[in-house]
Structure 1
Amino acid sequence: MRYTKQYSSPSELLVILENRGLDCSDTENAEHILRSIGYYRLSGYLYPFLKAPKSEHIYKSDSTLGKALSLYEFDRELRLLLFNQIERIEIAVRSAITNIACEETEDVFWMSKSEYFANTDKFNKTIQLVDKEIQASREDFILHFKESYEEPYPPSWMIAEIIPLGTLTRVYENISSNQIRKKIARYFGLSVPVFISWMTIITLTRNSCCHHARLWNRSLSLRALTMTRPLRPWLEDDVQQGRVFFTLCILKHFIDIIRPDNDFKQNLLVLLEKYPMIDTQAMGFVDNWLEQPLWEC
């Protein structure tokens, strides 16, 4: 099948939306907004307002452009909230992996030595990525190391600072010492499989935030593992593991360990109160989520 859709200008798209039943009268400068945001990006926030069957592209009677823009703004603020927590988690995980592995191996260069890893092929692929990051890095500490020392690779804590979070997770996953992997995971109150699973979810969420992707009602194809024997307050009820609420739970678990006096819960409540029209069930929230042990803290 050939793609036959033609380009439509923002003014033309505005007419199309109105002809499909969307009330745009509640939004000043609607054409300018379409031009600034882009119809394709905004269409993901218009989708919930379509009548069934959605393939007919007819909007429900009370649908307005303003409501779709409120969804858009909520999602933007949600991404900022999540990214703020992910930043703290990412820094803490980088520190824990390098500190614990350096202590256990007594080797500051462990991350660049194959003897510490279970799968040689995976190690070789990772070290190729490390080579590229070192080559491209303009960080002062990397430039100083290359100018001052003869070792081919910098200490592990320097490598951990320049590789992507996903690569660091693969480094952790490939560590041959189960004792080291357990110690790192236990530092965050988790088993090894759950730690790997949750770091993968955090990485995917981080990337979504960085690329301004729709997050609030997205369903992840990757289902995170959950704790069967929690070491800390967790969830008593089952929740949808592919929805953003479960991601929020993952982030709260980490941030409560990293920064016990955090205001993550308060900021989330403020955001939800600011946008009362949000369908939290579409985000995977359970009705009694604030009564769950994790969120009572």
Structure 2
Amino acid sequence: MSSLSLSSYSKPYLSVTEQLELLRGRGMLITDTRKAEACLHRIGYYRLSGYAYPFRQRELRRNPDGSETEHIHEHFRPHTEFSTIMELYVFDKKLRLLFLDAIERIEVGLRVEVALTLGTYGAFSYRDANTYNRYFSAPDSDGATPHARFIEKLDDAFRRSREEFAEHFRSKYSSDLPIWMSIELWDFGTLSTVLNGMKSADLDRLSSLYRLPKRRFLSSWAQSINFVRNVCAHHERLWNRPLVQQPSPSKPGELELLEHLATDSLAQRRIYAVAAVLQYMLRFVHPGSTWKERLRSHLKTIPDSPHISLRHMGFPSDWEKLALWRASTFDESE
């Protein structure tokens, strides 16, 4: 878009009192002014506006070609209460903590398995581009390779780390960290990058640990989980967020417990898809996990409103009845 077609931002600064008056003027019901002011001071108007968005009035407008476009008004739907917006904000905050709990277990488990896999080539083989597939050594438009960027990131993390094991190693050795130490400095983004760079045989081995029939599932899922992890870590809105990176869905006959995703495009695009992937992987990483029960309990606390629902999160109407969310362990026949 040309800068000539863009307009200048002209909305004025508003104090918290003025922000509340703006919300009232747009039809939001605010019964406890003092509490609402405290919430805006603590959270911020702009952050909270993302949770108020589903409550804004909508209308369909017909275009000249006969199609229809949904127009979002600034005014809120009738009976929209500030307290409901805050309930949704708190619901989302607790949802992020639940997702981070599951992601942590899977991240730690994957670290162990990646270290064991790459370690078979030698303690420092992870620094050798030949350990990975040829695409990991292909230069980009800047002339750098994914492997070179990966090593640069690791070396920087090691230099800056204040972890006790890293400081002890720097004081005693002149060499690089062996894989089983280095991997403790990897974040989930680094893990997903390396999974994309691993040789097919190595990725097949890792995939088999989770009974995945194709290696594409693991690398794709890792990217999606990393996206959600970053959303949670930066305290961003999660509950109805579209997935920038969607986990690869299974085709009929490939992965029975996740087959329902193949025919549900909304579920694929929303956080339900990552919730399903997390639940699937937890059955191997931590078979005794109560995560699905805690998630189920939390989802029942979503604010009671006709304008928001679990479907906005991608959850199928019968999700609790699906085998993925019912069975606690895998049968040998699966």
Maintained 8 Å contact 1:198/1:225 = yes
Between the aligned partners of 1:27 and 1:279, the Cα distance in structure 2 is 27
Maintained 8 Å contact 2:106/2:282 = yes
Q: Write the mapping of 1:115-264 to structure 2, written as runs, cut at 5 A.
A: 115-117=130-132, 118=134, 119-120=136-137, 121-151=145-175, 153-175=176-198, 177-190=199-212, 191-228=214-251, 229-230=253-254, 233-236=257-260, 238-239=263-264, 240-264=267-291
- When the two chains are superposed, the root-mean-square deviation of aligned CA atoms in Å is 1.7
Between the aligned partners of 1:198 and 1:236, the Cα distance in structure 2 is 16
SS at match of 2:98: helix
Which letter does structure 1 place at the counterpart of 2:232? C
Between the aligned partners of 2:33 and 2:228, the Cα distance in structure 1 is 31
Selected match of 2:30 from 7, 21, 24: 24
The structural deviation recorded for 1:159 is: 1.4
Between the aligned partners of 1:126 and 1:161, the Cα distance in structure 2 is 14
The structural deviation recorded for 1:139 is: 1.4
Between the aligned partners of 2:259 and 2:94, the Cα distance in structure 1 is 25
The structural deviation recorded for 1:276 is: 5.2
SS at match of 1:56: strand
1:275-297 per-position Cα deviation (integer Å, ceiling 9, x unaligned): 35250110111111112221121
Question: How many aligned residue pairs are there?
Answer: 293
| Match in the other structure for 1:101 | 118
Instruction: Identify the structure with the greater strand proportion.
Output: 2
The structural deviation recorded for 1:28 is: 5.2
Maintained 8 Å contact 1:51/1:59 = yes
Maintained 8 Å contact 2:109/2:285 = yes
| Match in the other structure for 1:34 | 40
Q: Tell me the TM-score normalised to structure 2 length.
A: 0.83
Between the aligned partners of 1:47 and 1:236, the Cα distance in structure 2 is 29
The structural deviation recorded for 1:27 is: 6.5
Higher alpha-carbon deviation: 281-290 or 224-233: 224-233
| Match in the other structure for 2:63 | none
| Match in the other structure for 1:293 | 323
Between the aligned partners of 2:128 and 2:54, the Cα distance in structure 1 is 51
Name structure 2 gaps, 5 residues minimum: 1-6, 60-70, 138-144, 328-334
The structural deviation recorded for 1:163 is: 2.2
Maintained 8 Å contact 2:51/2:89 = yes
Maintained 8 Å contact 2:118/2:179 = no
Maintained 8 Å contact 1:218/1:243 = yes
Which letter does structure 2 place at the counterpart of 1:12? E
| Match in the other structure for 1:112 | 127
| Correspondence 1:71 to 2:93 | no
The structural deviation recorded for 1:12 is: 0.2
Between the aligned partners of 2:123 and 2:290, the Cα distance in structure 1 is 35
Between the aligned partners of 2:170 and 2:34, the Cα distance in structure 1 is 56
| Correspondence 1:279 to 2:309 | yes
Distance 1:279 1:28, change over 3 A: farther
The structural deviation recorded for 1:80 is: 0.6
1:122-157 per-position Cα deviation (integer Å, ceiling 9, x unaligned): 211111111111111111212222222232x11112
The structural deviation recorded for 1:34 is: 1.0
Between the aligned partners of 2:28 and 2:114, the Cα distance in structure 1 is 51
Between the aligned partners of 2:237 and 2:93, the Cα distance in structure 1 is 8
Between the aligned partners of 1:11 and 1:74, the Cα distance in structure 2 is 25
The structural deviation recorded for 1:26 is: 5.4
Selected match of 2:58 from 47, 52, 57: 52
Q: Tell me the TM-score normalised to structure 1 length.
A: 0.93
Maintained 8 Å contact 1:236/1:293 = no
The structural deviation recorded for 1:223 is: 2.5
Give the % identical residues: 30
Distance 1:276 1:58, change over 3 A: closer
Between the aligned partners of 1:206 and 1:10, the Cα distance in structure 2 is 31
